[in-house]
A and B are shown apart, each in its own frame.
Chain A
Amino acid sequence: MHKELLRLERINKSYDGRKILEDLDLTIHENEFVTLLGPSGCGKTTILRLIGGFERPDSGKIWFDGQDITSLQPEKRQVNTVFQKYSLFSHMDVAENIAFGLKLKGKGRNYIRDKIKYALKLVNLDGYEHAQVTQMSGGQQQRIAIARAIVNEPKVLLLDEPLSALDLKLRQNMQRELVKIKRELGITFVFVTHDQEEALSMSDTVVVMNQGWIQQIGTPENVYNEPENAFVADFIGDSNIIDGIMIKDKLVHILGRDIPCINTGFGEEVPVDVQIRPEDIQICAPAQGQFQGIIKQVVFKGTVYDITVQAAGFEWLVQTITGHEQGSEVGLRLAPANIQIMAKPASEDEEAVSNE
């Protein structure tokens, strides 16, 4: 892991008596692509605004490169933001927008011109120097907003749901391009999104948040394959989440059956949440399955079929590559390695699963 660059220490923040962030600790490293992922209102944008300097924490400290920047004005911070609504200056053309920060810093004409050229090339908009920003498409405006931020050579680029206003195809293109830009620049990106696919496909580190609490920090593979609690399991990808009891190491009791798994260290006779990914469930003949049930619904999704199976009093979501007959009797098989056991939340406060 690279050197630590940014550290949020025991941050508390509330608006109008409503707690947004509570005792939050977060460390971000040099050259890391960190994504803050969570549903709206989870506090992810507040974290970004705290780093950007647009909000002050009620208590706690923010350290940047070893210095306390908690109460530093935004214009004095070595970070730049790409805003959700782009927030370009409509009274300036593209070049003037990009030059804004450089002119304030008193850079020379030639330097500014070269920088503009470089930045426009980086965001694939060469030759657009004198276009009016108001006449550009949403995707183009977003690129200008990125160019405007990066010419200032920030150590951290903050991106506040920058792709949420774009249509799917464009969004996917921009995702790839952002990763490319990030590699080229070699700086830290802090990216806020509620789109789990976006988070998984772009980041080095995903920070999953809910109700002002960090639920899990890890690599995309990590949070997808080994969610630490039911919220993370539910929020990222599709999941079957079932109440279970850990009988002993490597054996869990769910829906009236004892199922072998590979988890250890939970103790004996402990209630747990059990997560099984729909693509990890095998459909087989009834006699060979650990559970027997009936196919309720088959939905073709393009690459996979979403199959709903009613078995042992639970509605299972199963994904398969081949189709199955609705109404037919089937068995379900679970490989031990594909069963993820998660501790139940300790208190009501940490109750992670949203009611949505």
Chain B
Amino acid sequence: MNERITAQISSHRFLALPFALWAVLFIVLPLFFVLGTGLTNEAGDVTLANLLTVLQSEYLRALGLSVELALASTFICLLLAYPLCLILREKRESRGLLVFLLFLLPLWMNSLLTTMAWQTILEKHGLINMFLSYLGLPAVHLINTPAAIIIGMVYNFLPYMVLPLYVSLSRIDESIVEAARDLGANFWQTLRHVLLPLSLPGIVSGCTMVFIPALTTFVISALLGGNKVLLVGNIIEQEFTAAYDWQLGSALSMVLMVFIILNILLEAFADSGEQRKKGRP
């Protein structure tokens, strides 16, 4: 069966041509361009100088902060999405679908617009502080802080967590949960020993899908962080558009790419583990 499908695909290989052309032109070539720029100086000589510059504390600090904020927003997304998907799993009905679509809504809105909306909510005389002063409470300082950036990231990237989690949780048959209850597991034991391990692939892929865009964003951090909080995405953007140091910008991009590749490898590893258990190596 599998072999036949493989044979069929290989005989229709020419169908992949348009995409292959696209990928080479707009994905592979630019990648090599970045690599080339990052590993040479202005005179065109091969050098590691750009990469060594990245190791300066200023850049490392931005990179560290980016990883920190991306991890924090990934974690918050997971905390928000998992209980929701647990509930959605139980009631697969029209009402469940409505809640589900509500959570996916940010996907269909331009993230630039939603982030600007958050700006007006979080700013000094924004909605939150207006509400607080109305209640006679002291104003909070949110805009241009890491917290504001995390809020923006969670808002924009939550759908990427909900989707894979929902898919992997709703695939678990109800009778598996009933079997656990039958054998003496209460809700938390069922969650810990059955639902969590079985939904692990969804957790990993949801975390990857939130972590990578959160790590590389510069729009959210630019709008909600002002110039006070610099993430690695903002620095790269500035190197290309303001400082015109393409070499350093490319070198920073390469370092960022290492993180992305590590992340993807982690997901591939989790996936292959899952496949092995299912007996399909």
Contact = CB atoms under 8 A, between A and B. Distances in A.
Most B CB within 10 A of own CB, among A54, A80, A91: A91
Contact of A83 (B178, B198, B279): B178
B198 A81 contact: no
Interface in B247-281: 277-279
A132 B182 contact: no
Interface stretch (A58-66, A98-106, A288-296, A320-328): A98-106
Contacts of A75: 181-186
A85 B173 contact: yes
Grouping DSSP codes into helix (H, G, I), strand (E, B) and loop, the B interface class, with mixed when no group exceeds half, is: helix
B182 A81 contact: yes
A73 B256 CA distance: 51
Contacts of A87: 173, 175-176, 178-179
Interface stretch (B20-28, B189-197, B230-238): B189-197
A100 B185 CA distance: 9
B180 interface: yes
Given A85-B175, A87-B176, A74 B182 contact: yes
A149 B278 CA distance: 23
A134 interface: yes
A148 B185 CA distance: 14
Contacts of B179: 81, 83, 87-89
Nearest to B196: A91
A152 interface: yes
B184 A105 contact: yes
B279 A134 contact: yes
B178 A80 contact: no
Contacts of B184: 75, 101, 104-105, 152
Nearest to A83: B175
B277 A91 contact: yes
20 contacts: A52-B178, A53-B182, A74-B178, A75-B184, A81-B179, A83-B175, A87-B178, A88-B179, A90-B278, A91-B198, A91-B200, A91-B277, A100-B183, A100-B193, A101-B183, A104-B185, A132-B279, A134-B278, A134-B279, A149-B182
Given A53-B181, A54-B181, A134-B279, 10 more contacts: A52-B182, A73-B186, A81-B179, A88-B179, A89-B179, A90-B278, A100-B193, A134-B277, A148-B183, A152-B183
Interface of A: 52-54, 73-75, 79-81, 83-85, 87-91, 100-101, 104-105, 132, 134-135, 148-149, 152
